[in-house]
Structure 1
C-alpha cells in the first residue's frame, strides 16, 4: 500500500537533480581559473522524465493552446563539455553563464521546496482532521 502519491517521488527526484546541478555549477565556478579545466553539466534522466510524463496531465481549453510535450529522454549523467574553450589556458568555464545557471537553479529548487512543503501541509491538515 502506497501512503503517498507519486508526486513525492517525482519531487524527490527533481530535488536530487537540482542538488546535483548545484554541485556541478559550484565546481565549475570554483575552477574558473584552473588551466585546462573543462566545464561540466547535468542531464535529466529517463526515469525522471517518464515519472513527470505520467504525473503531469495537460488539459487544453482551446485548440490554439500548445500541446504538452514530454521531456527529452537523455541519460542521467554529469558530462564534460570538451569541444568548448573560452580562455587561452584551455579552460571552458564561462562564469557569466554559470552564475546565470546558478540563479535559475536556485529558483527551480525553491519552487520544488515550496511544492513539497505544500504537499506536507495538506497531509498535516488531513491528519488533524481539517482543524
Structure 2
C-alpha cells in the first residue's frame, strides 16, 4: 500500500479536484457576465453522507462481502453543473452578478488553502511516523 492509497489523501485529492472544477465554472461565469441570456452555473456537491453514498461521491465504493448483499453499481464521482442564477437578472436575460461570483471564488480559494494545509499536515505526520526513533 503506497501513500497515494491512503483514504484520507484520496479524500483531499477529491476535494481539490472539485474546487479546481468550481474555479473553472466560476471563471466561465465571469467571462460570460455580459453575454445576453447567459445563466450562471455552479457545481453540485453532495452535502450529506446519504447523498454521497447514493451518488458514489468522493471515490467511496461499496464492497460486497456476502452473496446476500446488493451488488454495487460501480459508479464513480463526477461533477455536474447546474444552473445557479445570481440574485438579479438584467433586461437582456443575463443572471451573472460579478460581485457574487467573486465571493464564490474567494470562498473556493479559502477552502482550497484549507485543503492544501490539511494535506501538508498529513504529510508531516506521515514523515514523523516513518522516522527512526530518537531522530
Q: Same fold, TM exceeding 0.5?
A: yes
Unaligned runs of 5+ in 2: 47-51, 61-77
CA deviation vs aligned residue, 1:29-78 (integer Å, no higher than 9, x gap): 11111111111110114333685xxxxxxxxxxxxxxxxxxxxxxx8411
DSSP 3-state at the match of 1:20: helix
Question: CA RMSD of the aligned region, Å?
Answer: 2.6
Structure 2 counterparts to residues 1-131 of structure 1, below 5 A: 1=1, 3=3, 4-45=5-46, 46=52, 47-48=56-57, 76-81=79-84, 86-129=89-132, 131=135
CA deviation vs aligned residue, 1:69-123 (integer Å, no higher than 9, x gap): xxxxxx84112247x8611111110112111111111100000000001111112
Unaligned runs of 5+ in 1: 52-74
> Number of paired residues?
108
TM-score by length of 1: 0.70
TM-score by length of 2: 0.68
